[in-house]
Amino acid sequence: MPKVAQLIPIAIAAGCAIGLAGYIYLTLHDIAGAILFSFGLLTIVNYKLKLFTSVAGFIHRNELPQLALILGFNAIGCILVGLLTRVAAHPLNETAQQIIGERLANGSLNSGLLAIGCGVIMTISVTFAYRGNIIPLLFGVPIFIKCGFPHCMADTFYLSSCSTAYLMEHAGQISTYYPAIILGNFVGCNLPRLFPKPWDEVSH
């Protein structure tokens, strides 16, 4: 794991990549948008950026503080891109609120459980991608999007794209929902460790 000074730019850049992918998806909000969301993950893999859900399944216990830093700096990158939706010609805020509204209506516990699915898909996808096979990533990203499996960084972007009034109105629900999906993603990312192959030996 890189030192903190090295970690900051590559974690923020990873957040920006997810924010850009989310921007694409909000613009299209269909299966094509879900497929094109893969652009963000392909960018992260090829530039070896640090994304919470691309590293959580490979870290060791003593690296948990660094993982928390990655989460925080990823969020900064997502929010920076999210601010662009406020000047977009498309009604991106409404689409973001629709996505988050469906998540909140499903409840924090249910969303956290669904987030496990996203974590599993992410670890499998990046494992193959770092071994030179991007096909699972190209399939995995639209799968978790269209199945409604929350991705904590994508949802950070969607939340930052919602209106301030909407965020204030739903602050209580968001305060329990967001930690639930982070935990769900973390659990899901680590489930492939139980697989018979040495997935955690992938070099990052």
* pLDDT 10s digits, 71-92: 999 999 999 999 999 888 888 9
Q: CA 53, CA 58: separation in Å to the nearest integer?
A: 10
**Is the full-model pTM beyond 0.75?**
yes
Q: Is the pLDDT of residue 204 over 60?
A: no
Look at residues 38, 199, 29 and name the one whose alpha carbon lies nearest to residue 130: 199
Mean of the per-residue pLDDT values of the chain: 93
List of residues 6+ apart from 19 with CB closer than 8 A: 40, 77, 78, 79, 80, 81, 82, 157, 160
Kindly list the distances between the CA atom of residue 86 and the CA atoms of 7, 93, 94, 164, in Å, as whole numbers in the listed order: 28, 7, 11, 11
Digit-coded pLDDT (tens) for 91-141: 899 999 999 999 999 999 999 999 999 999 999 999 999 999 999 999 999
Neighbours of 61 (CB within 10 A): 5
